[in-house]
Structure 1
Amino acid sequence: MKIFQYFLLLILMATVSLTVFIFAQSPSFEVEHQFTVDAPKEIVYEHINDLNLWSDWVDLKKEKDGNYTITFDEIGSFPIKEEYKYPYDSLTFDISNDETISNMFWSFERQGSKTNVTFILHGQLDLKTKLITFFQGKPSIVASTSTQKNINSLIVYFIKQYKDFNISIDGEKEIEDTNYIFISKKSTLGTLNIDIAKSYQEIQSFAQANHIEITGDPFLILKNNLEGKELNYDFALPIKDTIYLSENDLYSFNTLPKTLYLDAKLEGNYVHLDSAFHKIQEEINKKHLLKNTNKHTLIVLEQSMINTRFPAEWKTTLKTPIVKTFTPTEE
C-alpha cells in the first residue's frame, strides 16, 4: 500500500514540477514565412488588405460590432485590426491577446507576373495553449506549424483563382449603334478589378438617380494597348436613349456606331488579357482580316468583380474591330 502511495506521490510531484516548468517557459513566439504567389503584386496586396477576403484561407469572422476575430489552430482566437499600410508594399495588423498587443506583418515584392510575400507574426500563447501544446515543441514551432497550413491555403487559393484561365474565339459579330454614358479611367492589370467595381457603383448610382435606363453589360473602351501594363479606357454603361450632359457633369454621353468585331471569350482574371489579345491577333492573321484602326477595342464585362469576387468565375468578351479583306479567287 505504501509503495502505491509513494508511486502516486511521485506522479504528483512530477506533474507539479512539469507544470511549474511549463509556466516558467516564455509564451512568446515569432514566425516568418516567405513564399511566392501566382498573381501580380497589386492583386495580392489588395486581397490581404481586405479582411473580408481572409475567410478563403484562414478562420476569420466579422463580429456584430464590425470588428474581426482570427483563429489559428493550436494558437487560439484573437481580435485583429489594420494598423499601418504602405500601398502595394507592406501591411501591418494588430492582434490583441488579453492585455498584450501582437503584430502581423506582410510585405510584397514583384517577381515578374508573380509576387514574393513575407509573412511575420509576433505573439504569445495563453496558459491553456502552452499546456496543451507543450510536447509539440517551443511556442515558435507550434505557431510556425499552425500558420504554415494557412499560408498553404492562401497559395492554393491564388493558384485556383488567378493562374487558371481559358480563351476561345467566338467569331465575327456586328453590333448596332449603341448609346452609352462613360467616365475615363486608368488602371493597371492588378487594380483593374477594383477600379471596375468602384466605377460601376458610381455610374450606376448616377443612372438610377437620373432615371437613365441601362440596357446591357458594362464595357471598357480601350484607348491603348497593353505594352505598358497600364490601361487607359472609358468605363461605359449602354443606355436606351440619347441624353444631354453638361461639361460640368462627371460623366459623358456618346454613341458607338455600327461596327464589325472579332469576338474572343476570356474566362479568368484580367492578368491574362495579354494572352487573349495575342490569340485574337493569330486569328486575324489566319483569316486574312485587318484591324479597323479607326475604332477602339471593347472589353465587355459579362461577369466580373461586380457579380462575383472570384476571378475564376469572371467572363469577359474582347471585341476587336475589324475590316474584311477579299482575296481574289482564280477562275
Structure 2
Amino acid sequence: MPPPSSDAQIAPTKSTGTIAPERYIGFAAGLASGATKLIVGHPFDTVKVRLQTDGSSRFRGPLDCLRSTIRREGFRALYKGATPPLFGWALMDSVQMGSLNNFRLWIADPDPLTTLTTRHHALAGLGAGIVVSFVACPVEVLKARLQVQYDAETKLYKGPVDCARQLVRNNGIRGLYKGLSACLLFRSFFWVLWGSYDLYTNAFANSKFMPAVAVPFFAGGCAATTFWAISFPADVMKQRMMTQPDTYPRKYPSLASCIAQTWRGEGWRGFYRGFVPCFLRSFPTNGAAIFVFEGAMRLGKRLVD
C-alpha cells in the first residue's frame, strides 16, 4: 500500500481547540528533507547553475565544467553557495512540505476520510509551489550569485551576508526577489511533481517486485525526473534573471524579455543548458529527500499517536 503521507486516506483528528498534529508534522519532516537534498545534490546544482548562466562561453559541457571547477578552485568550489540553502533548503522544504500537507487536508475537508485523487495531489502541489516561491526566491538569488563567482576577478561577494547587503543597498529589498516571476512559474510545476508522485506511488505499491520501504525513494526519483523534464526551461529563465548584473538597463527586465532573448540568441537549446547534471541529480537527490520526508512523516505520526 502507498506510504501514509501520499495515501488516499487522511487520518481524522479530534477538534480540541488546538492545532491538529497533522497540520505541523509536515513542516518538521520538511526540515529533514531539505538537509538531505543539500548534502546529496548541491555539487550537481553548482554545475547546473554554471552551465545555465555562462555555459556556452566558458565550458564545453557538464564534465568540462566539473573538471574545470575542481582543477581551478578545488573540490570545495562545488559547494559554493551552500550556506544559503543549508538553512534555506531546510526552511523551503519545511514550508513546501508543510503547505503540501495542509493543502491535502484542506482538500479532504470536511470529511477527513476523503479519497484524494491524483488531480487533488497535483492541486495541492500547485498551491505548495506558489506558497514556497516567496521563501525560495531570496535563498536562490544568494545561492546562484555565489555559485557563479569563478575566481578573484569575478568575485563580488565575500559570502551570503555580504551578497544580501549589496543587493539590498543597490536595489532595495526587491534585490532579494530578482526573478520572482520566473520562480513562481518554475515552482508552479510542482503540480507535476506531486501529481506524478501519486501515480508512481500507486504503480510501485501494486508491484510484486518492489518492497514497500523502497516505494518512496523510487516514486520520488521518477516523479522528480518527470518534473525536471517539463519544468527545466523555467528554471533556466529563473537562474538567468537571478544572476544578471546590477546594472541598468537590465539585460532581462522581465520574464518575457528573458524568454525572447534566449530564443533569439540560442534557440531551443538555450532553454536546456545544464540539463544533463540536473537530470543526473534529480533522481538520487529527490528520491532520497522524499524517502526521508515520508519516513519522518510516519515517525512523527507514530510519536503523536
State the TM-score, normalizing by the size of structure 1: 0.20
Task: Give 1 or 2: higher helix fraction.
Answer: 2
Task: Give 1 or 2: higher strand fraction.
Answer: 1
State the TM-score, normalizing by the size of structure 2: 0.21
Q: Taking CA–CA contacts closer than 8 Å with sequence separation of 6 or more, which of the two structures ends up with the larger relative contact order? A: 2
